[in-house]
Amino acid sequence: MSWWIPPLLALQFLTRIPAPGLNAITAETAKAGLAKSVIWFPVVGGLVGVITAATLIAADHIWPRIIAVILALIVEARLTGAFHEDAVADFCDGFGGGMTPQRIHEIMKDSRIGSYGTLSMGFAVALRAALLFVLPDALILPALIGSASFGRYLAVCLMAIIPPLMQTGGLAKDVGARTGIDQWFIASLLTLPFMVPLGLMVAPQVCAAIAAALIFALWFRRFLLQHLNGVTGDCLGFGVYVGQILILLAANTILP
């Protein structure tokens, strides 16, 4: 397999950016490449963060910050296809309305969005918008890049520690079952360049956010195994959003 296939598959999977070079590969190559592509998720996240930050900074020079934040989030949603926002809605619908693993899974697979999903997605986007609105100017670029990369990295961590729900298809089953310590370690190294700038500026807060993410990951593993018997793509997308929020909360935390 050519070296460029996994990163392009990660780009294609997580964004709407065209990857025309993948048109010629076979289904078997694509499946094998996707299993290797997870190490590139933090890099793709960092790229998304760069575009979102550039939009916010450019718009902030023309319009008030609140308008710049909304425009940046619109651009990001178009770039990613609102991939993770949809996962947040499906996850909260499933666990809000389901009482058994089978019912939770059925609700998450339903294309319709219920009250739990609508409210949770609205609150999640609103919280992220508020955090970007009050973010100090000097932290906009490093915080958006770091949070976007770290969110995707947290999904890789979850894939490494939580077995996939086997009756489902897609990322969790085809990729998650193959994500091990090697993939996690490489993904960790690839995440570092995107986190270091923010870490140098607000080191204690970033360390606290990483510790909170670790606690969340361990709790989330227990929660999913108890209530769903495994992880699904929607659960991973929910984890991505949690990771982003934790870093943005850290960037806005003022220590005494």
Secondary structure (3-state) at 180:
coil
| Domain assignment present for 185 | yes
Q: What burial class does residue 218 get, using C-beta atoms within 10 Å of its C-beta: 0-12 exposed, 13-18 middle, 19+ buried?
A: exposed
192 pLDDT above the threshold of 90: yes
Secondary structure (3-state) at 113:
coil
pLDDT confidence of residue 256: 66
| Domain assignment present for 1 | no
Contact yes or no for 175/34 (Cβ under 8 A): yes
Average pLDDT in the chain: 92
pLDDT confidence of residue 240: 98
Which CB contacts under 8 angstroms, 24+ apart, belong to 55-62? 56/132, 56/140, 56/144, 57/140, 57/141, 60/137, 60/140
pLDDT per position as a tens digit, 149-191? 999 999 999 999 999 987 655 555 556 556 788 999 999 999 9
- What average pLDDT does the segment 30-46 reach? 91
| Domain assignment present for 34 | no
126 pLDDT above the threshold of 60: yes
> Which residue range is the domain that position 178 belongs to?
42-251
Q: Which two tokens stand for residue 211?
A: 């510790």
Contact yes or no for 91/238 (Cβ under 8 A): yes
Q: How many domains does the chain have?
A: 1
| Domain assignment present for 67 | yes
pLDDT confidence of residue 239: 98
Maximum CA pair distance of the chain? 57
Spatial distance between the Cα atoms of 80 and 11, rounded to a whole number of angstroms: 10
Spatial distance between the Cα atoms of 53 and 228, rounded to a whole number of angstroms: 36
- What average pLDDT does the segment 16-26 reach? 83
pLDDT confidence of residue 170: 55
Count of all residues that appear for the chain in the document: 256
Which ranges in 2-81 belong to alpha helices (H)? 5-14, 27-37, 41-60, 65-80
| Domain assignment present for 29 | no
CA nearest 193: which of 47, 58, 51? 47
φ, ψ for residue 253 (rounded to 5)? -85, 125
pLDDT classification of 25: cutoffs 50, 70, 90: confident
What's the pTM?
0.94
| Domain assignment present for 109 | yes
| Domain assignment present for 183 | yes
| Domain assignment present for 9 | no
Q: Which two tokens stand for residue 160?
A: 């490494």
- What average pLDDT does the segment 218-244 reach? 96
